[in-house]
Amino acid sequence: MGIHSQRRLAATFAAACVIALQGCDSTSLTFQGLGEPPPVRDLATPALLNALDQDGHFRLPAPDPGQGLEISTARAAELAIAYVQTFGPYIRTFLERGHGASIDFDALQPGRVYYAISPYAPVPEPAHPGAQKGLGPYYVVHLLSNGQHALSVAVSSLSTDVAIVDGRIRYPIRSGNDFLAIGIPRGGGEQRPMSPEQAAQIVFDSTGLRIAALPRLVLAGRPFEPQEARWRITMERAASFLGTESDRRITTTDVYVDFQGGLYVPRAEQPGGITAIVDRDEVSGYIRKNVPLTGEVPTSLERVELVGRKGRLP
């Protein structure tokens, strides 16, 4: 089984939606040296100190599962473990190649769990559950082997219909886009995503400005994987940046940090949404619908450098 087949198997094991996307951006630079998350007491404004735990790390909010529309953080971790134990042996080559070492799937333990909001509005009904999940929010669960990061597993927060029976995943009849697992390179160089504390440290080192609000993990939008989500970091006051592509000068309090440590801001123009295949029927074939952006999360970003100060990355 080739890598692309393994990636598709890891992502769905079922029918998936096909999506056409506008306004994407990526980077080939690699940020090295990401280890354990640093304490951020010295990086936070006084008002933010109450949002830190005893180790000086951010206490991030999670969705309220009370209405039953989304799974909880604990359930996401349970599903991630069960998914890897169920399907990990079938995609072992792909996962271990990404990790750079062998992985004992039965010995994995959950690490930190991050909730990433989606840039898209809910897919209009009627729609296949796989389309709704593929464009919705995700958890990203880091799984540890002997205390070291081994796997990053994306779990759709809408996977309320996925069961665990005798430790193994059981899908409903109509499913898709519930999971995607990738290996984390040994040494923690690219954790996908990095921790919010590491993102905050990069912004502080680049600007000298403290962090004024809890970081928010936001999905990059299709066709990017959930593990390529970016941290939105809010600084205590505005800083001026220069776009590396447009030479546009942007003054803002919010910057986005990708998993490689690059700093980004939204481009002046954003796409209005995407056209997605949300289901199919025997008569008309594929059913396409326009899915708009919420307006809260940009999907088209430009890399920037701080004006008048050399950033952390070249």
Chunk the chain into consecutive blocks of 10 residues (it has 314) and report each block's average pLDDT, rounded to whole numbers: 38 35 29 60 94 92 76 96 96 95 92 95 89 95 91 96 96 94 83 92 95 96 94 97 93 96 93 86 80 92 84 40
Phi-psi region of 189 (alpha: psi -120 to 50; beta: other; left: phi over 0): alpha
Please report, in angstroms and rounded to a whole number, the separation of the first and last CA atoms in the chain: 38
Residues 299/229, Cβ–Cβ less than 8 Å: no
User: What is the pLDDT at residue 65?
Assistant: 67
Q: How far apart are CA 37 and CA 200, in angstroms?
A: 10
Report the pLDDT value the prediction gives residue 20, as an integer from 0 to 100.
32
Provide the token pair at 142: 């880091």
The pLDDT assigned to 279 comes to 87
- 43 is a domain residue: no
13: in domain: yes
**268 phi and psi, to 5 degrees?**
-65, -35
d(CA 117, CA 273): 16
Query: How confident is the model at residue 190, as a pLDDT?
Result: 74
Residue 73 located in a structural domain: yes
**Helical pair 92-99 and 3-11, crossing angle rounded to 10 deg:** 100
The DSSP output letter for 186 is: T
3-state secondary structure of 264: strand
Structural domains of the chain, count? 1
Q: Is 146 helix (H, G, I), strand (E, B) or coil?
A: coil
**Residue-level pLDDT at 234:** 98
Is 228 a domain residue? no
> Does residue 123 belong to any structural domain of this protein?
yes
Nearest to 139 by CA among 129, 154, 150, 119: 154
Question: Is residue 305 assigned to a domain?
Answer: no
Specify the pTM: 0.85
112 occurs within a structural domain: yes
Residue from 211, 204, 213, 258 nearest 231 by CA:
258
- The encoded tokens of residue 158 equal 């809408």
The pLDDT assigned to 189 comes to 64
Per-residue b/e over 210-249, b at no fewer than 16 CB within 10 Å?
bbbbbbbbbbbbbebbbbbbbbbbbbbeebebebeeeeee
Domain carrying residue 74: 3-22+61-183
Which pLDDT belongs to residue 36?
Answer: 63
| DSSP line for 75-121 | HHHHHHHHHHHHHGGGGHHHHHHHHTS---GGG-EEEEEEEEE-SBP
Domain assignment of residue 119, yes or no: yes
